[in-house]
Amino acid sequence: MSRRPARTRTRTASVLLVAALAALTGCAAGGDATPPARISQATATATATAPTPASETVAPLARSLPVRVRLPAAGVDARPILDLGLNADGTVEVPSVAQADRIGWYDKGVTPGETGPAVLIGHFDTVRGPAVLKNVSKVRIGDEITVTRADGTTAVFRVRELEQVDKDAFPTAKVYGNTTRPELRLVTCGGELVDGHRPDNIIVYADLVAAQAA
């Protein structure tokens, strides 16, 4: 994709509401061959006891587009990164079925490493089978996500929280709302198939803990 969005640190509530509703309604599978993505209750409960200490966060980076995302715990090494904007109905774009092995960045928000919530989106599976985030259930609190940026720097994020929610109850403000430090969201689908679609979203929340120069 060729779009290069304007910098938008402040987003109105109306834009957030429309943009975030069922962020990954495009997740669909042709059958039950792919086990459902699900985070365990034990993993979810651990979020209350494993926050990222403020002392471990680092200074925000300047704006620079993401070009590679690595999440070793889930076997993810995705590049290049797609630019995802808004559909005509105001919902967030998702990678196409043909791009199921790639991760997209929501380009109406900040880039990974800037102050605010940078949002990455990828499929768990599609009608063609398992996709880039097929192993999201292996992610645990404390795992690292590294984002290589166009300026050559690498932003390192540590997973602070994992959340599985019904798409009808998507936590819009929590995912897209402004923050006072650099944070990352990684969103995919989850849950048992219902009429060929995953009814839930799995959201990984992470904080910037290191920045490596080019």
Q: In whole numbers, what is the pLDDT of the chain averaged over residues?
A: 83
Give the whole-angstrom CA distance, residue 8 versus residue 33: 40
pLDDT band at 17 (very low <50, low <70, confident <90, very high): very low
pLDDT digits (tens, 9 = 90+) for 63-87: 999 999 999 999 999 999 999 999 9
Q: Residue 198 region, left (φ>0) first, then alpha (ψ -120 to 50), else beta?
A: beta
Residue 97 pLDDT more than 50? yes
What six digits make up the tokens of 141? 């609190």
Model pTM score = 0.82
Residue 19 pLDDT more than 90? no
Q: 51 vs 183, which has greater pLDDT? A: 183
Amino acid at residue number 163: E
Please tell me the predicted confidence (pLDDT) of residue 193. 82
Please tell me the predicted confidence (pLDDT) of residue 197. 84
Please tell me the predicted confidence (pLDDT) of residue 196. 78
Amino acid at residue number 42: A
What six digits make up the tokens of 63? 């704006």
pLDDT band at 60 (very low <50, low <70, confident <90, very high): very high
Give the whole-angstrom CA distance, residue 214 versus residue 158: 20
Share of the chain above pLDDT 90, in %: 66
What six digits make up the tokens of 135? 């192993």
Give the whole-angstrom CA distance, residue 167 versus residue 198: 9
pLDDT digits (tens, 9 = 90+) for 116-174: 999 999 999 999 999 999 999 999 999 999 999 999 999 999 999 999 999 999 999 99
HSE-up (13 A, CA, CB side) for residue 214? 7
- Distances 134 to 83, 120, 171, 177, 213 between C-alpha atoms, Å: 21, 15, 22, 27, 31
**Domains defined along the chain, listed by start:** 26-212 (2.40.260.10)
Please tell me the predicted confidence (pLDDT) of residue 28. 62
What six digits make up the tokens of 213? 């120069």
Residue 10 pLDDT more than 60? no
Please tell me the predicted confidence (pLDDT) of residue 214. 75
pLDDT digits (tens, 9 = 90+) for 184-199: 999 999 988 888 789 9
pLDDT band at 11 (very low <50, low <70, confident <90, very high): very low
Give the whole-angstrom CA distance, residue 85 versus residue 92: 6
Q: 4 vs 127, which has greater pLDDT? A: 127
Please tell me the predicted confidence (pLDDT) of residue 39. 61
Please tell me the predicted confidence (pLDDT) of residue 4. 33
Residue 111 pLDDT more than 70? yes
